[in-house]
């Protein structure tokens, strides 16, 4: 696979061609945009013999493109052209020619590049999608190249990056009494606390909802223990889980849960996460 793909195009369609380059790069095929005028004054040095050059020109007779062909050939890069004119000089000098339909431009004067540039964008997207298939490009790869914004977060953010842990993690032993349970929940500001044994293994979880429920039932007094208060079968998630997947599972339950414990493969409690924490991350 070639190291990168370069493309040359005329100034008036530069922005649309940049989109093709961006799509290729973001889907795993390194690509750069290079204007012919810049290439003619030294920037052609970015090209290597391993590269593919995609030259886009409806007529295939653009002088600024044709003037660069000897340089491309001397470097040893491959030349692929997108053109509507199979008999053009550009097509004849290319290693591969992609013939685009000859369309009437949408411009009422039939001068401004409109329909032809749209066809080029479609073909560019098709190339990018084919390369994704060939590379077996996965969601994880996409996330690697899109770290910012909601899309990137949903694909790449792990639950370990969101959960409360270490000193911020609320946890009590089974024999802990109500006063200390309330103190732990209040100080850690999580609305819940995990109940663990001496080895750190999760036994259950106590939420402020559980406490209010016992109070409403008249079953709450100072002697009650964590073991008596806890839910022994809470919904829990493994460390390393995708944060957005956790959020969806918490929200999609018949009775959505507001907090959930995070455990390792040995069921040791390592964190607690709330829907509020997840939403604050912009998921």
Domain ranges of the chain: 5-137, 159-280
User: Residue-wise pLDDT tens for the chain (283 aa)?
Assistant: 456 665 554 444 567 778 999 999 999 999 998 888 888 888 889 999 999 999 998 899 988 889 999 999 999 999 999 999 999 999 999 999 999 887 788 888 877 788 888 898 999 999 999 999 999 998 888 888 887 777 878 888 899 999 999 999 999 999 999 999 999 999 988 889 999 999 999 999 999 888 888 888 887 888 899 999 999 999 999 999 999 999 999 998 888 889 999 999 999 999 999 999 999 888 7
DSSP string, 184-208: HHHHHTSSEEEEE-TT-BEEEEEEH
What is the distance between the terminal CA atoms of the chain, rounded to a whole angstrom? 35
- Residue 63: is it exposed, middle or buried by C-beta count within 10 angstroms (0-12/13-18/19+)? exposed
Euclidean distance between CA atoms 185 and 172, whole angstroms: 10
Q: Are strands 259-263 and 269-274 parallel, antiparallel or unpaired?
A: antiparallel
Residue 1 pLDDT:
42
**Are the beta carbons of 173 and 184 closer than 8 angstroms?**
no
| Helix pair 14-26, 115-135: axis angle to 10 deg | 10
Residue 7 pLDDT:
55
Euclidean distance between CA atoms 203 and 197, whole angstroms: 7
CATH of domain 159-280: 3.10.580.10
Residue 146 among known ligand-binding residues: no
Distances (CA, A) of 217 to 40, 221, 257: 82, 11, 21
- Domain 5-137: state its class: alpha beta
Identify which of 184, 223, 176 has the alpha carbon closest to the alpha carbon of residue 207. 184
Residue 13 pLDDT:
58
Beta-bridged to residue 112, according to DSSP, are none
Residue 64 pLDDT:
86
Q: Would you say the pTM of this structure is higher than 0.75? A: no
Euclidean distance between CA atoms 87 and 60, whole angstroms: 8
Residue 9 pLDDT:
41
Domains 5-137 and 159-280 are alike in CATH topology: no
């Amino acid at each position: 696979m070639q190291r990168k793909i370069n493309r040359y195009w005329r100034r008036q369609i530069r922005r649309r061609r940049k989109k093709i380059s961006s799509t290729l790069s973001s889907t795993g095929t390194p690509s750069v945009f290079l204007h012919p005028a810049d290439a003619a004054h030294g920037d052609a040095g970015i090209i290597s013999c391993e590269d593919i050059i995609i030259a886009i020109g409806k007529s295939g007779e653009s002088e600024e493109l044709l003037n660069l062909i000897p340089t491309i050939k001397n470097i040893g890069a491959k030349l692929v052209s997108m053109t509507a004119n199979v008999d053009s000089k550009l097509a004849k000098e290319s290693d591969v020619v992609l013939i685009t339909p000859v369309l009437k431009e949408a411009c009422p004067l039939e001068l401004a590049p409109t329909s032809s540039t749209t066809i080029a964008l479609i073909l560019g997207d098709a190339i990018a999608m084919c390369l994704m298939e060939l590379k077996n490009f996965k969601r994880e790869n996409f996330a690697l190249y899109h770290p910012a914004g909601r899309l990137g977060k949903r694909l790449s953010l792990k639950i370990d990056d969101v959960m409360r842990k270490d000193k911020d993690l609320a946890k009590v032993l089974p024999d802990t009494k109500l006063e200390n349970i309330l103190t732990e929940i209040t100080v850690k500001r999580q609305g819940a606390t995990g109940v663990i044994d001496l080895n750190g293994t999760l036994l259950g979880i106590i939420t402020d909802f559980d406490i209010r429920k016992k109070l409403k039932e008249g079953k709450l007094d100072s002697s009650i223990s964590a073991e008596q208060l806890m839910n022994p079968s809470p919904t829990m998630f493994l460390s390393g889980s995708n944060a957005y997947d956790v959020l969806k599972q918490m929200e999609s339950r018949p009775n959505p849960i507001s907090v959930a414990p995070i455990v390792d493969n040995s069921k040791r409690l390592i964190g607690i996460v709330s829907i509020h924490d997840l939403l604050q991350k912009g998921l």
